[in-house]
Amino acid sequence: MVPPKNKILPLPARTKGLKAINIWIAMALWFLLFFCPLPAAGQDKDLNKPLVASGTSPMLEKGSADARSLALEEALRAAVEQALGYLLPVQNIVHYYPLLLNRILKEPMRYVKDYQIVQEGEAFGLYRVTVQTTLYSVNLTRDLRQLGMFLAASERPRIAILVAERTNPDEPWNWWWQLGSVDQKPPLFLQALAKLMAEQGIVPLSPKSLTENIPEDQNYQEPLLDDAKGAALAKALGADVAVIGQVSYRGTGMGETGMTSGSLRAVRANSGETLARVSATVQVQPSAEQPVIDYGFSALAERLAPHLVDGILAPYAAVSKAPMDVSLQVEGVRSYGDLILIKEYLQRSPVIREIRQIKLKGDLGSFSLILAGNLDALEEELEGHDFGSFVTSAEVMGDNVVKVTILSKR
């Protein structure tokens, strides 16, 4: 029986799997969300206004109860998507959508505090549910930070993958950083791992861009580097983190199952500190078309990449800042033109994500900002800045308030 409308429902159990989503439609929705006003939220509290979202499910080959359940799940996921549109720049959402889909949107109930169905029903073969929700924005912000979503591209660590590989125990190791080699094989595992790491938020440096910087030192001309040598080589190559280790394939006979094993470590280039240590073994099932497929290197990379990325991002993401609402109060305003000059300057500042509102009352002006940096950085931007017709001084007044005073030039 369909429950009455406007009734607060208990949170449903976590669903198994994720309903297929058309990626291009989802991308378009992000742009719509970006341009639609969303409720403001403090960084350390729940969203202070409920979100309204809808979901639909086809009635074909489903009973009304199943269709309603899937539509409800889709509506709750859409509410979390709205919150992502508020917290993240649209370019990050588009670029990392597969990661967000797998790590955030796969389980939207983790972020739903409560919800209320405000409208539901069937039309044109679809069951549609509209909900009003309250989310745990602190939980969502925490998980996004762990994924490095608030890190700018320039803040993400540069990775050098120094992994030796071989496809037969009787053959020598293959490693890309060896000098003078004329018969190097393509680094299959490195390519698979780099692709997966890029999808999850960090892009390893390309060996082609690094070969000219390889030191002519025999200490680094080894396939199996220890942590100290791997870190030193990565530092010489301009990387922040070295991924060191080896992977190998062992066949058990023609047409039989083989085994691929790997053991990797991620270490800081400047200190040798271990950030992650992972290992795994996967079975390789040959087929008539591809006797050994890719030696299992892609499957092994899929097993290891998430744990490597989480360990590498952790120390960088821990200090990243989620966007926060800031009030910029301006004293001594002579005309609205003064505020326009300040606005144009702030729009070019890397610490400002968005200017939401400008007000002027008498000689007091104010800006409502979304800050991507910190308050001290905003203060430095405006302290002693010469705008041509006036100079400003700035002072942090509280957790989210900066006071600016317009000073006449002598």
Considering the domain architecture, whether residues 244 and 370 belong to the same structural domain is answered as no
> Would you say residue 34 lies in a domain?
yes
Residue 344 identity (one-letter amino acid): E
Same domain, 241 and 309: yes
**Which of 146, 170, 196 is at the close of a domain?**
146
**Which among 122, 36, 125 is positioned nearest to 78, based on CA atoms?**
36
Same domain flag for 384 and 292:
no
- Taking the C-alpha atoms of residue 224 and residue 174, their distance in angstroms, rounded to an integer, is 10
Q: How many C-beta atoms lie closer than 10 Å to residue 325's C-beta?
A: 14
Look at residue 7 and tell me if it is in a domain. Answer: no
Domain holding 303: CATH number? 3.40.50.10070
The reply to whether 102 and 246 lie within a common domain is no
In a domain? residue 10 = no
Q: Which pLDDT belongs to residue 33?
A: 41
pLDDT: which is higher, 190 or 95? 190
Is there a domain that residue 82 lies in?
A: yes
Alpha-carbon Rg for the chain in angstroms: 27
Indicate whether 271 and 400 sit together in one domain.
no
Question: What are 254-273's pLDDT values in tens digits?
Answer: 667 889 999 999 999 999 99
- Per-residue DSSP letters for 53-76? EEEEEE-TTS-HHHHHHHHHHHHH
- Name the more confident of 4 and 286: 286
Task: Say how many domains are in the chain.
Answer: 3
Q: What is the CATH number of the domain that holds 329?
A: 3.30.70
For 109-145, what is each residue's pLDDT tens digit?
A: 999 999 999 999 988 889 999 999 999 888 898 899 8
3-state SS class at 180: coil
Q: Is residue 278 part of a domain?
A: yes
Q: In this structure, how many other beta carbons lie within 10 angstroms of the beta carbon of residue 166?
A: 20
On whether the CB atoms of residues 306 and 103 are closer than 8 A, the answer is no
pLDDT in tens, 32-63: 343 333 333 333 344 557 899 999 999 876 57
222 with 207, same domain? yes
Residue 32, in any domain of the structure: yes
Instruction: Name the β-bridge partners of 391.
Output: 386, 407
Tokens encoding 237 = 């190559």
130 and 184 assigned to the same domain: no
Which of the listed residues 299, 317, 335 is the one where a domain comes to its end? Answer: 317
**For residue range 279-310, what is the model confidence (pLDDT) as tens digits?**
999 998 877 666 667 899 999 999 999 999 99
Containing structural domain, residue 248: 153-317
Listed residues 287, 317, 347: the one ending a domain = 317
How do residues 157-168 score in pLDDT, each as one tens digit?
999 999 999 998
Looking at the structure, do residues 128 and 245 belong to the same domain, yes or no?
A: no
